[in-house]
Chain A
Amino acid sequence: MTRRIRTPWEVFIRPRRGLSHQHVGSVHGADAEMALANARDLYARRGDPVSIWVVPSEAVRASSPAEKDPLFANAADKPYRYPEFFVTLHEDGDEQH
């Protein structure tokens, strides 16, 4: 697809070392450099972010509400994935150790 000045990009910022990049919003840009510059001016005016990613919005494959069940249904009804499901390791139930 031909990009234009109004092509949308999603912006991810790593606010500081040790944290993952987090989605902060979107910008327009005809190419990655322009999108990155626009993201810098829009989302990095404050703070001291460590790095910025820009990703063409069209490259994001989103799950739709209709897909919600098939995609995420398997997470429910499996209490055995959580430690609380099982007998405690210590008498007082303290799971700190």
Chain B
Amino acid sequence: MDDEGVVRLDAEYDEARLSAHFEALLAAGERIEPRDWMPEGYRRMLLRQIAQHAHSEIIGMQPEGAWLTRAPTLHRKAVLLAKVQDEAGHGLYLYAAAETLGVSRAELLDALHSGHQRYAATFNHPALTWADAGAIAWLTDGAAVVNQVPLCQTSYGPYARAMRRVCQEEAFHVRQGYDMLHALCQGTPQQKEMAQDAVNRWWLPAVALMFGPPDTVAGGADARTAAMGAAVTRRSMAWGIKRHTNDELRQRFVDQVVPQAERLGLTLPDPGIRWNEERGHYDFGPIDWRVFRDSLGDGSLVARQRLAHRVAAHEDGAWVREAVDAHAAGGGDWREAA
């Protein structure tokens, strides 16, 4: 859709009035819709977040997708395929939401491929065994759901609507991952060992990377980092994009997952985890944020592979997309060589 309306509006009202209207909508808990005036900072922050989210869905297909051809039963194969397929769908919902902000999917994909836009660094960890597919779904999808449930109420209408669809569909993702690990834990000692090994490797990526940097001192950051994180979070919360601090959501995730791990008979690799009666929450050890920062580097082997895989798919498919355009244009491109 065009943005004529926005242009016309600019001519009719001054920015202060528009801004007041925008703030009033937010204050009333109303959603902002694509053709509403919005501050440039709001648009940029949203676009960055939605794009990163979409890219994470698409790159996130890779670690589990690699196990589709090796799933150990036909039931597990079908379930995993349905899950990876959903991720492609979620990427599309989110790209469509981003497109309402005036950027095309082609531009977004270019930004992903060129490294100008990021995806969740969690997926720069390798999926080494079948149990990883279970651990990824249980832990990283579990963390994603904790993040995403509040986003169903986010202030930008198209994003909130996309997230509602995503949340409805993701409910099964976490459950099937837990179910997969549950089966392994009931199996042979070797199977249980594989499950524990996968959980050991996916715990930190989930608890650290899925929630972003600490934004409170309580969350384990030093004062300066916490202040920087908090500033971004405050702005995002003031605009109604985020509803909770990273550290609040992280705590919610830990509280959910600890009893689930106990039921599996698996150990979460953090000796600091224990119930804190006073706080009514599980304590957990300080997160090694160096791991976080290291994973952000694009230099890691897996990061290179993820991006190269994605770029290769896109480039290998260029002739197909060109063919579709030529066919739709109804021209005789193909006849010239015939």
A42-B89, A64-B35 known; A26-B8 Cβ under 8 A? no
CA distance A30 to B161 in the complex (A): 25
Find out whether the CB atom of A65 lies under 8 angstroms from the CB atom of B36. yes
CA distance A6 to B35 in the complex (A): 21
Contact flags B69-98 to A (C-beta < 8 A → 1, else 0): 000000000000010011001001100100
How far does the Cβ of A35 sit from chain B's closest Cβ, in whole Å? 11
Of B205-213, B250-258, B288-296, B323-331, the one touching chain A: B323-331
List, in ascending order, chain B residues with CB within 8 A of A62's CB: 1, 5, 35
Find out whether the CB atom of B9 lies under 8 angstroms from the CB atom of A30. no
CA distance A60 to B92 in the complex (A): 21
CA distance A3 to B162 in the complex (A): 25
Q: Does B278 contact A (CB under 8 A)?
A: no
Contact flags A55-67 to B (C-beta < 8 A → 1, else 0): 0010010101111
Q: Does B321 contact A (CB under 8 A)?
A: yes
Tally of contacts, chain A with chain B, CB under 8 A: 63
Q: Of A6, A26, A30, A57, which is within 8 A of B106 by CB? A: A6
Find out whether the CB atom of A66 lies under 8 angstroms from the CB atom of B329. no
Q: Of A25, A27, A30, A42, which is within 8 A of B325 by CB? A: A30
Q: Does A74 contact B (CB under 8 A)?
A: no
Q: Of A25, A34, A57, which is within 8 A of B324 by CB? A: A34
Find out whether the CB atom of A25 lies under 8 angstroms from the CB atom of B161. yes
Q: Does A45 contact B (CB under 8 A)?
A: yes
Q: Of A3, A8, A31, A45, which is within 8 A of B85 by CB? A: A45
How far does the Cβ of A77 sit from chain B's closest Cβ, in whole Å? 21
Q: Does A46 contact B (CB under 8 A)?
A: yes
Q: Of B86, B93, B328, which is within 8 A of A30 by CB? A: B328
Q: Of B96, B161, B169, B324, which is within 8 A of A46 by CB? A: B169
CA distance A27 to B99 in the complex (A): 11
A42-B89, A45-B86, A60-B1 known; A2-B35 Cβ under 8 A? no
A4-B325, A5-B321, A64-B35 known; A25-B169 Cβ under 8 A? no
Find out whether the CB atom of B321 lies under 8 angstroms from the CB atom of A66. no
List, in ascending order, chain B residues with CB within 8 A of A7's CB: 328
CA distance A27 to B1 in the complex (A): 14
Interface residues on A, range: 20 to 34
Find out whether the CB atom of B105 lies under 8 angstroms from the CB atom of A6. yes
How far does the Cβ of B31 sit from chain A's closest Cβ, in whole Å? 13
Instruction: Count chain A CB atoms within 10 A of each CB in B92, B321, B327, B329 and give the residue with the most.
Output: B92
Contact flags A1-33 to B (C-beta < 8 A → 1, else 0): 011111110000000000000000111101100
Interface residues of B in 89-123 (CB under 8 A from A): 89, 92-93, 96, 99, 104-106
Smallest CB gap from A61: residue in B: B1
Find out whether the CB atom of B8 lies under 8 angstroms from the CB atom of A66. yes
List, in ascending order, chain B residues with CB within 8 A of A46's CB: 169
Contact flags B8-25 to A (C-beta < 8 A → 1, else 0): 110010000000000000
Find out whether the CB atom of A30 lies under 8 angstroms from the CB atom of B37. no
Smallest CB gap from B165: residue in A: A25
Q: Does B315 contact A (CB under 8 A)?
A: no
* A/B interface sample: 14 pairs, CB < 8 A: A4-B325, A25-B93, A25-B96, A25-B162, A25-B165, A28-B105, A42-B89, A42-B92, A45-B82, A60-B1, A62-B1, A62-B35, A64-B8, A64-B35
Interface positions of A (Cβ within 8 A of B): 2-8, 25-28, 30-31, 34, 41-42, 45-46, 57, 60, 62, 64-67
**Nearest 4 pairs between A and B by C-beta?**
A64-B5, A30-B328, A5-B324, A4-B325
**Known contacts A4-B324, A5-B321, A25-B161; can you find 20 more A-B pairs with CB under 8 A?**
A2-B329, A4-B328, A5-B325, A6-B105, A25-B162, A28-B105, A30-B327, A41-B89, A42-B89, A42-B92, A45-B82, A45-B86, A45-B89, A46-B169, A62-B5, A62-B35, A64-B4, A64-B9, A65-B5, A65-B36
